[in-house]
Amino acid sequence: MILAVAAVAAELADLPGEALGIGAVAAGARLARILATRRPEAVVLVGSAGAYPGGPAVGTACRVRRVGLADGAAALGRAYVPRPPAPIACDRELLADLDLPWADALTVGAVTTDPTLAAALARGWQLEHLEAWGAALACREAGVPFAAVLGVANLVGPTAHEEWRANRALAEAVAREAVAALLS
Protein backbone atom coordinates (compact mmCIF):
# COMPACT_ATOMS: atom_id res chain seq x y z
CA MET A 1 0.00 0.00 0.00
CA ILE A 2 1.21 3.50 -0.89
CA LEU A 3 0.22 6.01 1.79
CA ALA A 4 -0.59 9.58 0.77
CA VAL A 5 0.30 12.25 3.33
CA ALA A 6 0.00 16.04 3.47
CA ALA A 7 0.56 18.78 5.99
CA VAL A 8 -3.17 19.33 6.49
CA ALA A 9 -6.32 17.43 5.59
CA ALA A 10 -7.42 20.17 3.16
CA GLU A 11 -4.47 19.29 0.92
CA LEU A 12 -5.69 15.70 0.75
CA ALA A 13 -9.37 16.66 0.20
CA ASP A 14 -11.04 13.36 -0.80
CA LEU A 15 -7.72 11.57 -1.38
CA PRO A 16 -7.32 8.88 1.31
CA GLY A 17 -4.32 9.61 3.49
CA GLU A 18 -2.99 11.18 6.66
CA ALA A 19 -2.40 14.78 7.74
CA LEU A 20 1.00 15.31 9.37
CA GLY A 21 0.91 18.85 10.72
CA ILE A 22 2.71 22.00 9.65
CA GLY A 23 6.51 22.18 9.71
CA ALA A 24 9.31 19.65 9.35
CA VAL A 25 9.39 18.62 13.02
CA ALA A 26 5.64 18.01 13.30
CA ALA A 27 5.56 16.19 9.94
CA GLY A 28 8.53 13.97 10.78
CA ALA A 29 7.31 13.07 14.25
CA ARG A 30 3.74 12.30 13.15
CA LEU A 31 4.89 10.31 10.13
CA ALA A 32 7.32 8.26 12.25
CA ARG A 33 4.37 7.22 14.42
CA ILE A 34 2.21 6.44 11.38
CA LEU A 35 4.99 4.37 9.81
CA ALA A 36 5.39 2.34 12.99
CA THR A 37 1.67 1.55 13.24
CA ARG A 38 0.45 1.33 9.63
CA ARG A 39 3.62 0.01 7.94
CA PRO A 40 2.94 1.25 4.38
CA GLU A 41 5.04 0.00 1.47
CA ALA A 42 5.77 3.60 0.40
CA VAL A 43 4.79 7.20 1.19
CA VAL A 44 3.89 10.01 -1.21
CA LEU A 45 3.66 13.55 0.14
CA VAL A 46 1.19 15.83 -1.64
CA GLY A 47 0.82 19.55 -1.12
CA SER A 48 1.52 23.09 -2.22
CA ALA A 49 4.89 24.80 -2.50
CA GLY A 50 6.46 28.09 -3.41
CA ALA A 51 8.75 28.47 -6.42
CA TYR A 52 12.12 30.17 -6.09
CA PRO A 53 13.09 32.65 -8.83
CA GLY A 54 13.42 30.76 -12.10
CA GLY A 55 11.47 27.79 -10.71
CA PRO A 56 8.30 26.17 -12.04
CA ALA A 57 5.24 28.27 -12.86
CA VAL A 58 2.37 28.80 -10.45
CA GLY A 59 -0.36 26.25 -11.10
CA THR A 60 1.96 23.43 -12.16
CA ALA A 61 2.73 20.24 -10.27
CA CYS A 62 6.22 18.75 -9.96
CA ARG A 63 7.70 15.44 -8.97
CA VAL A 64 10.33 16.04 -6.29
CA ARG A 65 13.79 14.64 -7.01
CA ARG A 66 15.37 15.45 -3.63
CA VAL A 67 14.59 17.40 -0.49
CA GLY A 68 16.93 19.51 1.58
CA LEU A 69 16.79 21.41 4.84
CA ALA A 70 18.01 24.97 5.33
CA ASP A 71 18.10 27.63 8.00
CA GLY A 72 17.50 31.19 6.81
CA ALA A 73 19.98 32.80 9.19
CA ALA A 74 22.69 30.38 8.07
CA ALA A 75 21.86 30.98 4.39
CA LEU A 76 22.46 34.70 4.98
CA GLY A 77 25.73 34.10 6.83
CA ARG A 78 24.29 35.27 10.16
CA ALA A 79 24.54 31.85 11.82
CA TYR A 80 25.99 28.48 11.05
CA VAL A 81 24.87 24.90 11.27
CA PRO A 82 27.75 22.70 12.57
CA ARG A 83 26.77 19.68 10.46
CA PRO A 84 24.16 20.60 7.89
CA PRO A 85 22.04 17.59 6.97
CA ALA A 86 22.55 16.22 3.48
CA PRO A 87 19.67 16.31 1.02
CA ILE A 88 17.52 13.19 0.91
CA ALA A 89 16.85 11.63 -2.49
CA CYS A 90 13.26 10.74 -3.26
CA ASP A 91 12.32 7.39 -4.74
CA ARG A 92 12.01 8.23 -8.44
CA GLU A 93 10.53 4.84 -9.34
CA LEU A 94 7.39 5.64 -7.33
CA LEU A 95 6.70 8.60 -9.61
CA ALA A 96 8.18 7.29 -12.85
CA ASP A 97 4.79 6.96 -14.58
CA LEU A 98 3.72 10.54 -13.85
CA ASP A 99 4.15 13.02 -16.70
CA LEU A 100 5.36 15.94 -14.57
CA PRO A 101 8.62 17.89 -14.44
CA TRP A 102 11.19 17.11 -11.76
CA ALA A 103 12.21 19.74 -9.18
CA ASP A 104 14.27 19.89 -6.00
CA ALA A 105 12.47 21.08 -2.83
CA LEU A 106 14.09 22.88 0.09
CA THR A 107 12.44 22.68 3.50
CA VAL A 108 12.62 25.82 5.61
CA GLY A 109 11.15 26.77 8.98
CA ALA A 110 8.88 29.53 7.68
CA VAL A 111 7.58 30.85 4.38
CA THR A 112 10.29 33.08 2.91
CA THR A 113 9.14 36.63 2.19
CA ASP A 114 12.49 38.44 2.00
CA PRO A 115 13.94 38.69 -1.55
CA THR A 116 17.56 38.57 -0.33
CA LEU A 117 16.88 35.44 1.68
CA ALA A 118 14.95 33.90 -1.24
CA ALA A 119 17.95 34.44 -3.51
CA ALA A 120 20.31 32.88 -0.95
CA LEU A 121 18.09 29.85 -0.42
CA ALA A 122 17.37 29.32 -4.12
CA ARG A 123 20.90 28.20 -5.00
CA GLY A 124 20.32 24.72 -6.42
CA TRP A 125 16.65 24.54 -5.40
CA GLN A 126 13.46 25.22 -7.32
CA LEU A 127 10.78 24.78 -4.64
CA GLU A 128 10.24 25.77 -1.02
CA HIS A 129 8.15 23.55 1.24
CA LEU A 130 7.74 23.37 5.01
CA GLU A 131 7.30 19.62 5.64
CA ALA A 132 9.07 17.58 2.94
CA TRP A 133 12.42 17.07 4.67
CA GLY A 134 10.87 15.93 7.96
CA ALA A 135 8.66 13.42 6.14
CA ALA A 136 11.56 12.20 4.00
CA LEU A 137 13.75 11.75 7.08
CA ALA A 138 11.07 9.71 8.88
CA CYS A 139 10.76 7.45 5.83
CA ARG A 140 14.52 7.10 5.43
CA GLU A 141 14.91 6.12 9.08
CA ALA A 142 12.10 3.55 8.75
CA GLY A 143 13.40 2.16 5.45
CA VAL A 144 10.22 3.17 3.60
CA PRO A 145 10.43 4.61 0.06
CA PHE A 146 9.42 8.30 -0.05
CA ALA A 147 8.32 10.55 -2.89
CA ALA A 148 6.57 13.91 -3.17
CA VAL A 149 4.34 15.71 -5.65
CA LEU A 150 3.98 19.43 -5.03
CA GLY A 151 1.78 21.98 -6.76
CA VAL A 152 3.21 25.48 -7.08
CA ALA A 153 0.98 28.05 -5.38
CA ASN A 154 3.24 31.10 -5.20
CA LEU A 155 6.56 32.68 -5.96
CA VAL A 156 8.88 32.83 -2.97
CA GLY A 157 9.20 36.46 -1.86
CA PRO A 158 7.29 39.46 -0.48
CA THR A 159 3.88 38.47 -1.89
CA ALA A 160 4.19 34.74 -1.12
CA HIS A 161 1.38 34.60 1.44
CA GLU A 162 -1.14 36.52 -0.69
CA GLU A 163 -0.27 34.44 -3.76
CA TRP A 164 -0.52 31.21 -1.76
CA ARG A 165 -3.97 32.18 -0.49
CA ALA A 166 -5.10 33.00 -4.04
CA ASN A 167 -3.61 29.89 -5.68
CA ARG A 168 -3.43 27.18 -3.06
CA ALA A 169 -6.63 25.39 -4.14
CA LEU A 170 -5.36 25.08 -7.73
CA ALA A 171 -1.88 24.00 -6.62
CA GLU A 172 -3.24 21.39 -4.23
CA ALA A 173 -5.67 20.11 -6.89
CA VAL A 174 -3.00 19.56 -9.57
CA ALA A 175 -0.75 17.77 -7.08
CA ARG A 176 -3.64 15.70 -5.72
CA GLU A 177 -4.77 14.75 -9.24
CA ALA A 178 -1.31 13.37 -10.04
CA VAL A 179 -1.16 11.42 -6.78
CA ALA A 180 -4.70 10.06 -7.28
CA ALA A 181 -3.60 8.66 -10.64
CA LEU A 182 -0.62 7.06 -8.93
CA LEU A 183 -2.76 5.43 -6.23
CA SER A 184 -5.38 4.06 -8.65
Q: Tell me, what's the pLDDT at 184?
A: 80
pLDDT at 181 over 90: no
pLDDT at 49 over 90: yes
At residue 161 the predicted structure's pLDDT band, cuts being 50, 70 and 90, is very high
pTM of the entire predicted model: 0.96
Q: Tell me, what's the pLDDT at 96?
A: 95
Average pLDDT over residues 44-49: 98
- Dump the DSSP string for 35-73: HHHH--SEEEEEEEEEEPTTSPPTT-EEEEEEEEE--HH
Average pLDDT over residues 163-169: 97
User: Which amino acid is it at 173?
Assistant: A
* pLDDT tens, position by position, 72-123: 999 998 999 999 899 999 999 999 999 999 999 999 999 999 999 999 999 9
At residue 35 the predicted structure's pLDDT band, cuts being 50, 70 and 90, is very high
Q: Tell me, what's the pLDDT at 63?
A: 98
Q: Tell me, what's the pLDDT at 179?
A: 95
Q: Tell me, what's the pLDDT at 15?
A: 96
Q: Tell me, what's the pLDDT at 17?
A: 97
DSSP 41: S
Report CA-CA distances (Å) from 153 to 6, 38, 49, 161.
15, 31, 6, 9
Ordered by where they begin, the domains of the chain are: 2-183 (3.40.50.1580)
Q: Tell me, what's the pLDDT at 182?
A: 86
Is there a contact between 132 and 148 (Cβ–Cβ < 8 Å)? Answer: yes
